[in-house]
Amino acid sequence: MKEKKTVLITGAGIGIGKATATAFGAAGYHVIVTDILKSEGKQVAEEISDAGGSAEFHKLDVTSTGHVNALVASIEKISGALDVVVGNAGIAHKVPLGEMTDQKWDETFDIDLKGIFRVARAAAPTMRAAGRGAIIAVSSIMGVAYGWDEHAHYSSAKAGVLGLVRGLAVEMARDGVRVNGIAPGYIRSAQTLSAQHSLGPAGLEDAAKFIPMGRVGQPEEIADVILFLASNAARYMTGQTVVVDGGLLVGRY
């Protein structure tokens, strides 16, 4: 039996991905930090190691099937089956319908939905052969309940994540692999702080007024739920997408 459980996290250089990598590192996992952002990803891995954890960084483009397959295979050759996969990499670019090209639509789906599928597909055979594993896919409240003005491609891709979670969960349940999703609400991250593509700092503060808890969330509050979904505490849970939004969806009326 290997000394540490291994988790691979996509988009782990910033925001929710970074917080998730840090949480798994603190929980004793060996963390495979992946991102297209090389310097940010390397820094996250170094911070985990400096804190006494175990981590390594690999640059990963989730839109490349060859790149994903090669990285997963190389990790499995050394460490065996991955214990946990967290599909977090994503983009959210503001594009009005009149300016929405096929290329822009496809780019968002290729990263936000198909990127999760690629990593899950690559890791699944060895997980299933081992009879264990957990896959967690990051969706959004914009894919669960809300439409998002000038982000139809993002909302559609994030809604697709729910279907992917359900389908994979049923297919792999008998093999001991659990698949769940998480749908964050308004979280203080680089994405939501972008005035060009999202709410911006002022808009984020305005959004807090509609959240029953009276504040936006922090990346660490999403990371903690992802860690739970990967843990033995969630051992009888599969095919679910958990909304973590401070009560926004149930409280705004």
Positions marked catalytic? 154
Provide the token pair at 228. 């739970």
In 96-235, alpha helices (H): 102-112, 114-130, 141-144, 152-172, 200-208, 219-230
Please, are residues 109 and 160 in contact by the beta-carbon 8 Å criterion?
yes
Q: How many CA atoms lie within 13 A of 216 on its CB side?
A: 19
- How far, in Å, CA of 19 to CA of 224, rounded? 9
Q: How many CA atoms lie within 13 A of 221 on its CB side?
A: 15
Please, are residues 143 and 116 in contact by the beta-carbon 8 Å criterion?
no
Phi, psi at residue 135, to the nearest 5°? -120, 130
